[in-house]
Chains A and B, each alone.
Chain A
């Protein structure tokens, strides 16, 4: 009998050409730039075509708003400082939410009873309106930095917990069988199967949590006014004084702040998760 050996000819492996992070950032920024242009167009429309001349002070045109505020360092200085303060609050809140949220989900993923016991708390935290908690947070934590961070954490925690848990539970039954058959320890199963399987979901959670933590920082500033004001605090002051130009500018800065944070994490998400599976995301 003849020996038959089949062997598939294998071409040299080829990787997809790597795409630069800069181009990826530009691609995700383009729709946002488009949205901004559309927004300014609508603004002009409302100012000049919708509002009667007598009420135009309610919404001055963009060039007047930004013209007066950007050229006024007395206004812009405090605004940028406030923005930096809010950024710090959002960042600290996000870090806490990420660390705590991932740990919480890991504990839930390890024991079925832990999930049953712990998950309701995460849901309650998510469903209770933040405004209902604001007075309590103020009384317990004071009315400055700490309280503002607490608001961020409360708002940003749930997407971290929910997405991480989903990811940790996403490995297939067969993959778990593989680990069982090789007598994997609980720790090996967590670090070599569940956690790596959760990485893409964790980044999804991170992206959402980052956006929410910006909102949390601004809500926190708005209500907790002790100490130096954040951008949310300034919003309140300008509203009370009916300083329309300053108010509109700070609203714009707030929105840009949120967009920038969200974009950073969206790009990070794509870059990391793409590489995670051995290719750059398209």
Chain B
């Protein structure tokens, strides 16, 4: 597929990729190469100007770069929003929202407003909101980019635990090579604008992955390969 904006910017050329359920694919690439555009195309927020996109997912959810919570709603009501918009009954959406908050480790914080939560907790609420729809396709646009290193590692561990449990198909954008390698079953490397996919690196490990995995020699070897591919094409 190809995406050219009305301004004349060509964000993506000849990008071809597929994603099966049970896969977690991360995309790394230089800034401005069209990674967000790729997600927006996959979610239907934008339409491709060439080629085609086929999504068979029953439910797709999208996690934004910042948590994008509604400030006037509590954590619970933020997660409930999805059910509200889709017309679910109050009891159903409430119990699902509680379960989703529990999944991300926020039990006890249901009635807190976003301003009373830390950055990491807000991102957890955002994850819960994405999971409450029980998606079979989950799109992530650099969700942990704004978090500090410690919180970021914690969130990565949580996310791969949740992925193992829920088994959606994941498409995850990141700037961090080690995040890409730690989380995914496959890393796609994109070139600078207009974006193309220039390398595809499979990741061998099963889930769950222990945090210590990051310090193994094999991990270092794979991140090295991804970084090299990135360096050659930016």
Most buried by B among A4, A197, A278, A279: A278
Among A5, A172, A178, point to the contact of B62 (Cβ < 8 A): A178
The answer to whether A10 and B107 have CB atoms under 8 Å apart is: yes
Of the candidates A4, A180, A196, A199, the one whose C-beta lies within 8 Å of that of B208 is: A4
CB closest chain-A residue, reference B126: A178
Smallest distance from the beta carbon of A169 to chain B beta carbons, Å? 16
Given known contacts A177-B45, A277-B72, A192 and B81 CB-to-CB distance under 8 angstroms:
yes
The reply to whether the CB of B52 lies closer than 8 angstroms to some CB of chain A is no
* Interface status of A112 (Cβ within 8 A of chain B): no
A170-218 with Cβ < 8 A to chain B: 172, 174-175, 177-184, 188, 192-193, 196-197, 199
Q: Report A214 CB to chain B, min CB distance, Å.
A: 30
How many positions in chain A have a CB within 8 Å of any CB in the partner chain?
Answer: 32
CB-defined A-B contacts under 8 Å, sample of 14: A1-B208, A2-B210, A3-B208, A10-B107, A12-B108, A174-B64, A177-B45, A181-B44, A182-B81, A182-B82, A188-B85, A192-B81, A196-B70, A276-B72
* A7 in contact with B210 given A177-B45, A193-B70 (CB within 8 Å): no
A8 within 8 A of partner (CB):
yes
Q: A282–B26 Cα gap in the complex (Å)?
A: 43
**Residues of chain A contacted by B154 (CB below 8 angstroms):** 6, 8
Q: Give the residue of A182, A183, A278 whose beta carbon is less than 8 angstroms from that of B115.
A: A278
Check if A277 sits within 8 Å of B115, measured CB to CB. Answer: yes
Q: Are B106 and A180 in contact (CB under 8 A)?
A: no
Q: Is the CB of B157 within 8 A of A278?
A: no
- Contact bitstring B108-122, A, C-beta under 8 A = 1, else 0: 110111111000000
The reply to whether the CB of A13 lies closer than 8 angstroms to some CB of chain B is yes
For B65, list chain A residues within 8 Å (CB).
Answer: 174
Asked whether A196 and B210 contact (CB < 8 A) given A10-B108, A13-B109, the answer is no
Per-residue CB contact flags for chain B residues 48-76 toward chain A (1 = under 8 Å, else 0) read 00000000000011101110101110100
Say if the beta carbon of B211 comes within 8 Å of chain A.
yes
**SS of A interface (majority):** loop
CA–CA, A177 and B68, complex, Å? 10
In the bound complex, what is the Cα–Cα distance between A60 and B211 (angstroms)?
82
Q: Is B158 an interface residue (CB 8 A)?
A: yes
Q: Are A6 and B158 in contact (CB under 8 A)?
A: yes
Which of A47-90 touch B at CB < 8 Å? none
Closest to B141 in A: A174
Q: Max chain A CB contacts within 10 Å: which of B45, B61, B72?
A: B72
Residues of A near B161 (CB, < 8 A) are 4-6
15 additional A-B pairs beyond A1-B210, A7-B105, A13-B112, beta carbons within 8 Å, are A6-B154, A8-B105, A10-B107, A13-B108, A13-B109, A178-B64, A180-B45, A181-B45, A181-B61, A184-B85, A196-B70, A197-B70, A199-B72, A277-B115, A279-B113
Docked pose: A276 CA to B45 CA in angstroms: 30
Q: A10 near B109 (CB under 8 angstroms)?
A: yes
When distances are taken between beta carbons in the complex, the residues of chain A under 8 Å from B66 are 174
- Bound state CA distance, A188 and B105, in angstroms? 29
- Distance in angstroms from A230 CB to nearest chain B CB is 39
Question: Which chain A residue lies CB-closest to B164?
Answer: A3
Q: Is the CB of B60 within 8 A of A181?
A: yes
